[in-house]
Structure 1
Amino acid sequence: MIRIFPRSIRARLTTVATLVAALVFITTSAITLAAVPGSLRTAVRTDLETAVGWVAEQARTGRLPAQLNTPSSLQLLQVVSPQGQVLAATPGRPLEPRLTTIRPRNPGVAHVTEHLLHHATDARHHHCMVMAMLVRTPEGPVTVYGAASLDRVNTVLGRLRALVFLGTPLILLGVAGVTWMIVGSALRPVERIRSVLAEISGKDLSRRVPVPDTGDEITDLAVTANTTLDRLERSAETQRRFVADASHELRSPISGLRTQLELAAAYPDETDWPAAGARALESVERLTGIVDELLMLARLDTGVAAERRVVDVCDLVREQVRRRAGGRVAIAAPPCPPAPVLGSPLQLDRLLTNLLDNATRHAAGRVEVVVEEDRDEVVITITDDGAGIAPEDRERIFERFVRLEEARALDKGGTGLGLPLSREIAVAHGGRLVLTDHRPGARFVVRLPLCPD
């Protein structure tokens, strides 16, 4: 495929600017060359007609002087009899022969032609516009002649043509050069940004592109690039920390399971196999829980959309309370009307499971779950009567693998993924999960968009 314009933005803009300038200059030059010559000749003819008309009026009234007062814009004025005798003329040239052989027949009508006339004072020939007009006088008809030099007009037109045909290419070259320099100067920050971005690798995301102080779109581009690099650096750091924490959390149950199996294999006769199997099963269940939560977090992080349908949150809460009946902590769930939301039943059930597990783990003896509608939202409130969480830790508990000292003391097998996963699920469903003030204990509030009928 043939390219009309070059690939480089700098070259393309220079080409376009030069073509536009060429179109403007060519159009303007054509209009100028077409209009200026006629305008200049019209001005000369107007002066000539004025002077000839003035002399003709003097001759008509019989007040014709021997020497005619000639304007500086004219070369010569003459009044000639029908016999060819010069009756009056411009001072200093009274004996000139008639300017032209034109003999107009209609009185008062001007006849115009152009001639080369010899000027005695400077021995030069002048290109002149010559006008003749027949006038009736008391002594008989006479012919008034006038001559205006076109040398100045020709000089102006010559300079104009030279300016057009020689100056236009020079101007276009100047436009191209200035455009090339201006565009190059404007794109120089882009080149610096590109070179820095080319040097940034996944191993070192701490570098940032230079931000020019021009305040234009390139500044916005640099700021956006640095913002993106900030997000990438945070994401990479979160991923590295996530992998390190996941490896650490998985190492403990795997090491415990391996130790148990190695001891059982080393002393088979002294091993209580049912107890060893139960302990191994607990370790496997903990591993399964960690892996399931990691997989769900990974899906949420990558934006994989789960199958969604209308889910009644009240049904999910009732099922959770039914499964936990008879436990250490009493769970109270007041009756609630249908609260439909559009979401994944599996993920919403995991959200409630994690929040209720956390509440029952910290509660002294009672947990309350309330579901209600607030305008266009379904609000789920889970309150326990435990020791509560310090204000400075209320956001930390939603970070992955973060476990407070109290949580570690209450449950050594926790993963630190339950609350972060719950918040991710709420956000993925267009809602939010927060920890609000409550005494005693803690209160988690989930807000999800209400699904209309």
Structure 2
Amino acid sequence: MPPDRARATREARGPRRFRPRMPRTLRGRATAAAVLIMVVALAIGGGWLYVTLRGNLVDNAGARTELAARQAAADIAAKQGRPHGDMQEPDGGVDAVLVLDDQGRPLASTAPHPAARAAVLAAFRPGRGEDSAVRDFAAAPALASETSVVAVVRTPSPSGDGDLYVYALTVLDAVADAERALGVTVLVGGPLVVLLTGLIAWSVSGAALRPVESMRRELVAVSADRLSRRVPAPGGQDEITRLAETVNDTLERLEHSVTRQRQFVADASHELRNPIAAARAELELALLNKPDPDTAASLSQALDSTVRLERIAADLLLLARLDAQQPPNVELVDLSLLAAELIARRRSARVPLRLVPAEDPVLVRADPGQLERLLANLLDNAQRFADSEVRVGTATDRATGTALLDVADDGPGIPPEATEEVFDRFTRLEADRNRASGGTGLGLAIAREIARAHGGSLRVEPSGRGARLALRLPTADSPSRP
């Protein structure tokens, strides 16, 4: 895309929005949800606890302070005289008591520097029709270094010259200490609780989902030739157990359906062999009678189609036998020697074959007939597409106990996206269709099934030019051979 067009597309879409990425696994999402819920719960619980604790402590301090102010006012009334000078220290955690006249002048105090405090407190008085009031004061040099609660009580002067105002002050240092302790607890304990919650959620969800993971691994192992496998069903009557039972029922129905399909293919291929052979014999006999040219051409075309149909029926029957997983009749076979024999039979082919054998014999234990069919299919495929040459190489990897055979041509090659598709049954690439080569689309499928039946593999390997198919089989002395 041109830069100007790409920029215009981005502008049309607008600014990119940030989207938080959730964990991909169900276990991760469950853990993230548990951690998020715990964080929210801690935030709400911590906030509620802070507000409740502070409110209770402040209310208690206010009640004690008001009680101390009323007690001081009662003492003044009991003495029948205007207070002056120092006063007795109050009880109950109250820090100071101060008595002001109605002009705001200090008359008596339990703490030094009453004038400074009087200047701050004189404006705080009970409202009309009230005899007391309580409020918080922010930290100030004249009062205290911490927030304080002040209670004021109005009482008549014993001398009859107006009212007196008795102030009691309590510094809320205990409240501040409690708030700090709560903050430290939340900041230190909160992350530990969140971490513990995450670990517990991860462990519990892992234990709950472990049967699901076992089912997944077993389903991965299920293939067309392993439909008899079943997923493990945990005990109990929970959802996972019911899921396992449903999966096993589905696998059983699938196995039954595939078995019937394979049986049908095998039966149909077997029943078609005799009619097709009879039709071929009739066509060949008709050609021997030297018909006129037009009839001979029609008979030749019909014979070619019949031969092709006969080959397809034989291939389907072979695939059905391979699908039945009947154990092959194995013998000791030298891959290099077998490849040399097959190449020798094809010396008159359109494209020459060149063998690059290993120095030592490449011995495997295999069914000679099936292995010969495998190599023949690979050679047919390579010669069909090659331009000038087909190279066949054999080797032994003693480190892995593997016998190697690769067939490479210099033709158009196999597209990267079709490296597995070419092994599907009745699959023919576009180049194959254009050549009208007469292939059935079953050759490579049969070759791979034979390789699998012998515990090996057949894959398309990277090649600079053309296609390269690599066969790997366990060597005769390999412990991994079937």
The verdict on a shared fold, with TM-score over 0.5 as the criterion, is no
Larger Rg, first or second structure (1 or 2): 1
What TM-score bracket applies, with the shorter chain setting the length? 0.3 to 0.5
Give TM-score, length-normalised by structure 1. Answer: 0.45
Give TM-score, length-normalised by structure 2. Answer: 0.42
